[in-house]
Every structure is written in structure tokens, then in C-alpha cells.
Structure 1
């Protein structure tokens, strides 16, 4: 048990729309080492090259990638199943993973994964995700987005999976993020004053993050039921 307790939660980190793993890694590693040092972070590029201009051009170098594609009204989705197969293949080869972190487009995807696993429609060949970290997320079927076929039942009942949500005061997707909160049984929230970005962590945010990590870490070490997870000791 002593050896096992030294393990870090292994997290698959998925970048935003027309961005990249390299960009996400650079932004996440601005967080305090007191947070990142407790995590085993793995960054993955999306499977499809960007088919349009990235909002990060001029700030971060290409290439840029997309997880899946959609029409202008966000009512039709393309390559969604291929995206999930791609993620599952990576997780099979490089896992197991304890949690997933997603920003923007990837946060929308990650929010649906626990239920899609529960329903047996996606990521069937890998262990169930124990927790999700959602930065500027939204809900399939919420105010701004339709629903891909594989995610049609993803939010049909409350999602009983530990979740940490980042909500930006100036984020154009803030309302969608608030709706997403209602889909989880016991969501934890980090509020920040910025927009649709990955914010740096101040002392208060880092404390919330560390508390969330501690809970998920204890669940990971003890093998507790992810639906009844409770911390039993400090790091």
C-alpha cells in the first residue's frame, strides 16, 4: 500500500477547438507546481487537422487540430464516433487513465464520456473514468449545442462522477457551463474573472483544485466506489 500511495492520478488532457496538445500543455503548466506536481498529465492532439482559422493564430504556432466537426448551428456532428475510437485507442495503449481534462470543445466531449461509458456506447475497452475536469464546458443538448447520436442519453440522468468545473465570469459560454453544472451530482467549481481561456490559478483556486485532487486521489488509492467517494486521509 505504501508503494501504491505514491502513485499520482493519471489524467488525459484534451485541448480546445483548433488548438493542440502543445498549446494546452504550455497553458496548464502555468499552474502552481503544488498542483501539477500531484498529477500525471498526458496531452493528446485531436485526430483531425483544423479546417479553418484558429483563434490562436499569432499567439501560438500551428499545427492546430479538431476533435470532431459540426455545422454552423451545432445541430449536426461529423467524425464523432471516429474521435471516440481514436481516444479509446490511445487510452488502451498508454493508460490506464484515472481522469480526463478538457477545454472548450474537449470539455463538452469530456462531460459526456462518463455517461457514454455507463451506457456502453463509447470507450468500452478501457476502465471507467473516475473524474472529469471541465474548463469552459457545455452540455450536448444544452442552450447552444445539439446532440451527437452516441451522446443522446448522456444527460438523461444525473452524472454521478466527481467533476471540477472552471467558470469564467466573462466567458461567452458561461451560461452553458452553468447548465452543465446541473447535470452532475456533486460538482466542484472554480470561478475566475476571465473569459474563454485556461486561467492561471490563484491561491483560492489552487486550494479548491488541491481539495478535488485529494478526494480523487483517495478514491484511486483505496479503490472506493466512485459513486460514494470520500477522502480518508491527507496527503
Structure 2
């Protein structure tokens, strides 16, 4: 499940990121689709480590697979790939989603086994989940759940988890779980810095849905919204990924360093639809 890079500095450590795939994907498929992100992040950290107590000069990405198998029946007869999975069973947007607790439990397993993580990245349904996970790991969030009547209870798998708050989250084509049952995830607003990356030609997740999620994240320069020129994708251009890398650097004291520009350009610079 993990994707690793090596570091020659024994005093350094790796940036650990949880990677959450979209609906009808899997961990291995998402890993293949985000190789450009991994490549440029590795190059940035190798050339200019993030200065922390233990310098961050490598990256380790973790790609779990959602617990629900997606079939053609779930997609109104549309044929789906064999490795199609979801984090919960998809219902109409705005309605209660079936199986959210199971999806969160799968993530909690990964955090327990491989954590602590520095951050999380997610795409589409995985981005919605990434924001929820970010919220659950914040200090005091369980008290927010206790104050909401008729809402989803604080997940037991996270109550039992010993994991610090994340440093950052990145949501590619994210969306908000709008049903009142999930209010405690977003109220009070998510305090962890979260970057929201939107495709300007995305016809699957409307911009208003992504902005609704961004609105539930505290602003003030830490949480941001950026747009790329593609559709419902994780961007692969150097310029777009550089913005994501700079955002990650900015959450660490001493990390605000513009990485050396990569000279080479290749076919991976094109947006790749999922």
C-alpha cells in the first residue's frame, strides 16, 4: 500500500501523506494516477528539504482502498472497472450517505498502522472523506459531535485512535456532505489548513459544491482555493502541482521555499481524466 522514496540523510524524515481515491477507483489505481504529484514532491523535497526539527527530505504516500465494491448496478447499468470501489455507497447529494462509518473505519486502520501522518490528499469522494478525516483529528472535535442532536456520533474508531491533528489537507474536486447528520464535521469550521483544487471544466462536481466545502474551512490565508484548466482530474502540470507543493511547504515554519523549477516537460503534463 505505501509508496516510498529513499533519503540519504539519516537525520531527516519523510513526509507521510494519506491518499484517498475517488468513487469507482482503488488505492493502486489512484497511485498510478498521482505519479506526477509524487515525482515532483520528491524532487522538491530532495533539492530543498523542509526545515523542521528533523528535516523533511523524502515522501511516503499511503493508498488504501475503500471498503465498498462498486458494481454496474450502482452506476445505473454503466460498466465499471473490476477494481472500482467507494468509501461509502453513493446516494443523491444532500442525502444521508450509506456506509460513511465503514469508510472512516478503514481510514482509522491505516492511521493506526502507519501513522502519524503529516497530511491527507483526496480526490472527489476521497476529497470529501479527506476533509472529514481532517476534522475528526482536530483537538476538541468530539465535543462538537456531542453537542449536535440527531447527528452522526463521533466515530468510535477515531475515539480510540491516538493520532495528532494533521498539518494539512488537499482536496481535489472536493464536495460537502450536506445532510444535517454530518454538521459536526464542519461546525465549528475546520481549522487545519486545507487547499481546495478545482477543475475549471469539471462537469462531475460543480464548482459551487467544492466552494461549499471550502467555506467550511477556516480562511485567513491558510486555507485556499485554486483552479486548474482541466476537467474532473487531479492536475498533472508542473505549474499546478507546484502550487500544491508550495501550500504544503507553507504550513511548516521555515518551509516557505520556492522549489527549483523542473526543466523537463513530457506527456505527463497533460490532464489525465480518471
The interval holding the TM-score normalised by the smaller chain is 0.7 to 0.9
Determine if the alignment matches structure 1 residue 213 to structure 2 residue 213: no
Contact 1:12-1:41 within 8 A present in 2 as well: yes
Partner of 1:231: 254
Q: Deviations over 1:164-217 (max 9, x none)?
A: 2111111132211122222222323331111111221232x233122122124x
Distance 1:91 1:211 in 2: 25
* Secondary structure class of the residue paired with 1:93: helix
Structure showing greater radius of gyration is: 2
Q: What residue is the counterpart of 1:114 in the other structure?
A: 134
Is the alpha carbon distance of 1:96 and 1:178 closer, same or farther for their aligned partners in structure 2, counting shifts above 3 Å? same
Structure 1 runs of 4+ with >4 Å offset: 232-235
Q: CA shift at 1:73, angstroms?
A: 5.0
| Gap runs ≥5 in structure 2 | 1-8, 46-58, 143-153, 260-274
1:41 — aligned with what? 61
Contact map agreement 2:19 2:64 (CA 8 A) in 1: yes
Contact 1:35 1:209 in 2 (8 A): no
2:88 and 2:200 map into 1 onto residues whose CA distance is 27
Q: TM-score scaled by structure 2?
A: 0.68
| Contact 1:54–1:64 (8 Å) recurs in 2 | no
Deviates more, 1:65-74 or 1:42-51: 65-74
1:182 is aligned to 2:215 = yes
**Aligned-partner Cα distance in 2 for 1:103–1:46:** 13
What corresponds to 2:16 in structure 1? 10
What is the Cα-based RMSD across aligned positions, in Å? 2.6
Residues 210 and 86 (structure 1), Cα distance of their counterparts in 2 relative to 1, 3 Å cut:
closer
Summarize the Cα distance change of 1:19–1:206 in structure 2 as closer, same or farther, 3 Å threshold. Answer: closer
In terms of mean alpha carbon deviation, does 84-93 or 118-127 score higher?
Answer: 118-127
User: Equivalent residue of 1:77, what SS?
Assistant: coil
Instruction: Give the Cα–Cα distance (whole angstroms) in 1 for the partners of residues 199 and 256 of structure 2.
Output: 31
1:82-121, Cα deviation, whole Å (9 max, x unpaired): 2211210121012221111111011111112232333222
The 1-side partners of 2:114 and 2:238 are apart by 32
Structure-1-length-normalised TM-score: 0.79
Does the aligned pair in 1 maintain the 2:250–2:256 contact within 8 Å? no
Structure 1 residue 17, shift from structure 2 partner: 0.4
Query: Structure 1: any 5+ residue segments left out of the alignment?
Result: 219-229
Q: Does the 8 Å CA contact 1:160/1:184 hold for their aligned counterparts? A: yes
Specify whether residues 232 and 78 from structure 1 end up closer, same or farther in structure 2 by C-alpha distance, changes over 3 A only.
Answer: closer
Aligned residue for 1:160? 191
Q: Give the 3 Å change call, closer, same or farther, for CA 169–90 of structure 1 in structure 2.
A: same
Aligned pair count reads: 212
Alignment counterpart, residue 25 of structure 2, candidates 8, 19, 29:
19
In structure 1, what is the Cα distance between the partners aligned to 2:93 and 2:40?
A: 41
Q: In structure 1, the residue corresponding to 2:137 is in which secondary structure?
A: helix
